[in-house]
Structure 1
Amino acid sequence: MMLINFLQSLYDRNSELQIDSEVYRLLIEDIEYFSIAPQVYFFLKQQNRLDRTPPFFQNRLKNMYNQGLIQNLFIKNQMEKILTSLDELKIPTIPLKGILFAEKVFGHFAARSTSDIDLLIMPDHLNIVIDCIKKLGFTMEEECAPGHFHCSLSKEIPGSPIPLTVEIHWDILKQKTSRFDITEFWAEAVPLKPYTFIKQLSEHHTFYMICLHAWRHNLDSMKHFLDILQCISFFGDQIDYDKLMKDAVRHKTLKRMVRTLAIVYRTFPLFQTICPLPIQANKGIWWQYEAIRNTSFRNTKVYLDYFDYLFFSFDTLKHQLHAIGEWIFPSAFDLAFEQEVNGKIYFFDYLKLYHKRCTGYIKSIFLHRKAESSRRG
């Protein structure tokens, strides 16, 4: 929880930073784990507080920031080539998250690390966009899966073992899980200069999208928290929670929105004074920092949180049953992703999946009871 307290202090100018060097040794490990060094470095520089931290902490932050700067510069260059090509083809496109989000909300294109380019397009333009991006040296990595809302292409980055991925979206939520209407995002999008056909999301829909993205990953990284917190801090009064909740009610995404914001505000209570959340929700109560910091960490709460997220994040019984059905009988695409299987899927792969889930849950119960016995003893 040290990292959470430290990050909260970055949004509270009146707070004092830690002075214990050992604390900073632990903090830098967490910061590196979540790939949030650029945000932390940029905040501290902006606030003239970087020199109040130990030299080794400053040096590691700066090194990670510079690495991200080089990568983001390459991605920015590639993104501009893609947007220019799509603009010339008169293809309406909205960049999501990534470089433009960092520039607008964090204040600099390198103030938030990114590893891919996300583009929102209209479904009818999918084949044209794929062909356009292929001509720029990208190759198809992930086909368009039934029920999903994106596909991806990739390209090698010089000096990096991780390729640059372009994700092409025509929606931001899976089919049959809501009544979400992406055309509303298009209707309120604003022009992005110097382009003619390239747009950017409104502030309202940027925040909406960031919250849904964080929910989709079940807030499994502090990076999602910082995205939401920075939106709240940067947009300020432009965030209209009444409108947000009304939209979520219409779209049947209210439980997702409430769960996400409840966890964020519970984890960072300072923000109740900055931009009060106008609802009191007992959602996401089993979310734990330890579970996202250590992937091998398991207890009963981990599974309770997982099932709460997986099955009870939906506003209607129909959408909930659809989610349960997909979990019990995942598509070949989803199974391959969850089991990290390449090639054809067989019935045995489903049996391995069920075995993995059951043994994991039983093991967590055993460990929880063992811990309780030790505590009582």
Structure 2
Amino acid sequence: MNPTLLQILYDSHIGLPNDSAYYWGLLDDIEKSNVHAQTYTIMKQGGRLEATPAFYQQILKEKFQRVLFQNILIKNQTNQILNDFEKSGIDIIPLKGTAFAEQHFGHLGSRPTSDIDLLIMPTDMDRAIDIVKSLGYIEERKPIPFHFHRSYSKVLPGSSIPLTVELHWDILKQTTANFYVEEIWEEALSIKDSLYIKKISDFHLFYMICLHGWRHNMESLKYFIDIIQLISTLNIDYIRLMEDTKRHKTRKRIIRTLSIVYQQLPTLHLLNKFPYEIPTSYGHRNFPLKKYVDFIDYSFLSYDSPKHSMVELYHWLHPKY
């Protein structure tokens, strides 16, 4: 059996096939999840890219260069926003984005970024909105009830896709968790000489990335790669993670997410053993009712509290509320 993309990227003991058809198939998987830049960067850093066919290398390199160009533009826009927040004395934490690519994948072009996610304090929302609007971003859509961000966008020169800024005051719906965003602020560190621009702690970054993958039901390889990259480069304290998720009523979500990741790449246990793994049906692609079982499990059974499950069911049945 030929190795999966995740095995190629993260298991150095896996040999690289010589069959060209395998790499065309691999490119199909990469295209579906838009992970060309991540694949190019990780394989190149691991010294494995040169052992692949020339067409495979060329396609990945071209896609990587496009991502790099896009991220240069987004980084420039991000810096403008952050500088204005600093001047206005407003605390702010960039979430993911180009900084995530640089710090945890090793290159500005190593991971595509489509928007700018920023965490601010609820009391600063009005001033934050004024800043992004002053930079040409207009409101994209009305706020979604029970959600935790406001979105604004503008079209950049040379780009047909608007750039969106999301101003977050939380990272989870409070109606389905007991998460305390204040804990993120307490452990955030100032960036360089900034007084107001903060960096999320590695622990909370990993927590957030896992929740982000869960929120999208791990439907793309990009969520796997984000989580695996952090497991590979950070020493995550799983005991603390489980203690925090128990308090926050997010334990089932995190265990479900990491169980799926470890199931797809068991060698991760050699880096950081995850002792809370539970069986999932994720890998059984031929299971007749798999997609329905997964939907029910993800949508309504991933909550620690029956009350939170009922709230989510109500929101699903009444999407306007």
SS of 2:150 mapped into structure 1: strand
Question: Partners of 2:224 and 2:96 in 1: how far apart?
Answer: 14
Which shows bigger deviation, 53-62 or 43-52?
43-52
Could you say what the CA RMSD is over the residues aligned between the two structures, in angstroms? 1.7
C-alpha distance after superposition, 1:18-44 (max 9, x if no partner): 211010011112112211111111112
SS of 2:4 mapped into structure 1: helix
Q: 1:255 to 1:108 in 2, by over 3 A?
A: same
Preserved CA contact (<8 Å) 1:288 1:302: no
Q: Kindly state the Cα deviation for residue 241 of structure 1 after the two structures are TM-superposed.
A: 0.1
Q: Which residue of 283, 294, 300 maps to 1:305?
A: 294
Are residues 1:244 and 2:241 paired?
yes
Number of the residue aligned with 2:53: 54
Q: Kindly state the Cα deviation for residue 158 of structure 1 after the two structures are TM-superposed.
A: 3.0
Number of the residue aligned with 1:122: 121
Number of the residue aligned with 2:98: 99
Unaligned runs of 5+ in 2: none
Number of the residue aligned with 1:211: 210
Matched letter for residue 60 of structure 1: I
Q: Which residue of 307, 323, 335 maps to 2:312?
A: 323
Q: Which has the larger radius of gyration?
A: 1
Unaligned runs of 5+ in 1: 292-297, 333-377
Preserved CA contact (<8 Å) 1:286 1:302: no
Question: Partners of 2:283 and 2:278 in 1: how far apart?
Answer: 17
SS of 1:176 mapped into structure 2: helix
Number of the residue aligned with 1:287: 282
TM-score, normalized by length of structure 2? 0.96
Number of the residue aligned with 1:64: 63
Question: Partners of 2:77 and 2:4 in 1: how far apart?
Answer: 37
Number of the residue aligned with 1:16: 15
SS of 2:243 mapped into structure 1: helix
Q: Kindly state the Cα deviation for residue 299 of structure 1 after the two structures are TM-superposed.
A: 5.0
Question: Partners of 2:116 and 2:19 in 1: how far apart?
Answer: 39
Question: Partners of 2:5 and 2:180 in 1: how far apart?
Answer: 38
The sequence identity of aligned pairs, in percent, is 46
Question: Partners of 1:39 and 1:257 in 2: how far apart?
Answer: 23
Number of the residue aligned with 1:157: 156
Q: Kindly state the Cα deviation for residue 146 of structure 1 after the two structures are TM-superposed.
A: 2.3
TM-score, normalized by length of structure 1? 0.82
Matched letter for residue 298 of structure 2: Y
Which shows bigger deviation, 66-75 or 136-145?
136-145
Which shows bigger deviation, 264-273 or 142-151?
142-151
Q: Kindly state the Cα deviation for residue 194 of structure 1 after the two structures are TM-superposed.
A: 3.8
Q: Which is bigger in relative contact order (C-alpha 8 A, separation at least 6)?
A: 2
Are residues 1:145 and 2:144 paired?
yes
Question: Partners of 1:137 and 1:95 in 2: how far apart?
Answer: 19
Matched letter for residue 306 of structure 1: F
Q: Kindly state the Cα deviation for residue 9 of structure 1 after the two structures are TM-superposed.
A: 2.6
Number of the residue aligned with 1:374: none
Number of the residue aligned with 1:257: 254
Q: How does 1:321-360 map to 2 (within 5 A)?
A: 321-331=310-320
C-alpha distance after superposition, 1:256-302 (max 9, x if no partner): 010000011011111112211011312xx2335869xxxxxx95210
